Amino acid sequence: MPAAGSTARHAGIAVSIAEWIDNSIRRTPDRIATGTADGRMRVSYRQLHELVRALAGQLAESGIARTGPIGLYCDNSPEFVITLLGAWSAGAAVVPIDPQLIAAEVEARLTAVNASAVVLPRRLRDFYPADPGAPSAFMVEIDAAGNDVTLAGIRDGRGQAASAARSRSARSPEATDLALLLFTTGSTGTPKIVPLTHGNLGASVAGIVSTYHLGPDDATLVIMPLFHGHGLVAGLLATLASNGAAYLPSTGRFSAHLFWDEIASSRVTWYTAVPTVHQILLARAGTDYPADTPPALRFIRSSSAPLAQEVLTSTQEHFGAPMIPAYGMTETAHQAASNPLPADGISKAASVGMATGLDIRISTTGGAAAAAGETGEVCVRGPALTSGYLNDPHATTEAFRGGWFRTGDLGHVDSAGYLFLSGRIKDMINRGGEKIAPLSVEAALLSDPAVQEALAFPAPDAKYGEQVNAAVILQPGRRATQTELQQHCRSLLSAFEIPVKIYFLDQFPRTAKGDADRRALAATLASD
Catalogue the long-range contacts made by 478-481 (C-beta closer than 8 Å, 24 or more residues apart).
478/449, 478/450, 479/450, 480/448, 480/450, 480/451, 480/504
- pLDDT of 173 above 50: yes
- Round to whole Å and give the CA distance between 467 and 469: 7
Q: Which of 72-81, 121-130, 248-257, 337-346 has the lowest mean pLDDT?
A: 121-130
Q: Model confidence at 167, in pLDDT bands (50, 70, 90)?
A: very low
HEC-encoded secondary structure of 6-60: CCCCCCCCCCCHHHHHHHHHHHCCCCEEEEECCCCCEEEHHHHHHHHHHHHHHHH
Report helix, strand or coil for 241. helix
State the pLDDT at residue 15.
Answer: 78
- pLDDT of 525 above 60: yes
Nearest-Å Rg of the Cα atoms of the chain is 23
- pLDDT of 89 above 70: yes
- Round to whole Å and give the CA distance between 156 and 134: 8
**Quick one: which of 142, 273, 202 has its CA closest to 9?**
202
SS3 of the chain: helix, strand, coil, percent, to 5: 30, 25, 45
- Round to whole Å and give the CA distance between 197 and 191: 19
Provide the total of helices (H) and of strands (E) in the chain, helices listed first. 15, 26
**Quick one: which of 169, 65, 58 has its CA closest to 115?**
65
Residues 471 and 443: beta-carbon distance below 8 Å: no
DSSP type of residue 353: B
Q: Model confidence at 68, in pLDDT bands (50, 70, 90)?
A: confident
pTM of the model: 0.86
Residues 442 and 499: beta-carbon distance below 8 Å: no
What's phi and psi for 417, nearest 5 deg? Answer: 95, 10
For residue range 199-237, what is the model confidence (pLDDT) as tens digits? 999 999 999 999 999 999 999 999 999 999 999 999 999
- pLDDT of 365 above 70: yes
Q: Where are the beta strands (DSSP E) in 207-303?
A: 219-221, 245-248, 270-273, 299-302
State the pLDDT at residue 189.
Answer: 54
For residue range 422-449, what is the model confidence (pLDDT) as tens digits? 888 888 898 887 888 898 899 999 999 9
In DSSP terms, which residues pair with 468 in a beta bridge? Answer: 458
For residue range 292-333, what is the model confidence (pLDDT) as tens digits? 999 999 999 999 888 888 899 999 999 999 999 999 999 999
Going by DSSP bridges, is the β-strand pair 334-338/323-329 parallel, antiparallel, or unpaired?
antiparallel
- pLDDT of 165 above 60: no
What's phi and psi for 348, nearest 5 deg? Answer: -90, 110
Q: Where are the beta strands (DSSP E) in 251-358?
A: 270-273, 299-302, 323-329, 334-338, 354-355
For residue range 113-158, what is the model confidence (pLDDT) as tens digits? 999 899 999 999 988 987 767 788 999 999 877 778 999 988 665 3
Residues 327 and 395: beta-carbon distance below 8 Å: no
Across all residues in the chain, what is the average pLDDT?
90
DSSP secondary structure letters along 412-471? EE-TTS-EEEEEEGGG-EEETTEEE-HHHHHHHHHTSTTEEEEEEEEEEETTTEEEEEEE
In DSSP terms, which residues pair with 247 in a beta bridge? Answer: 35, 221
Q: Where are the beta strands (DSSP E) in 292-403?
A: 299-302, 323-329, 334-338, 354-355, 359-363, 376-381, 400-401
Q: Please, which residues have CB within 8 angstroms of residue 325's CB and are 6 or more apart in sequence?
A: 302, 303, 307, 312, 338, 339, 347, 349, 351, 352, 353
State the pLDDT at residue 276.
Answer: 87
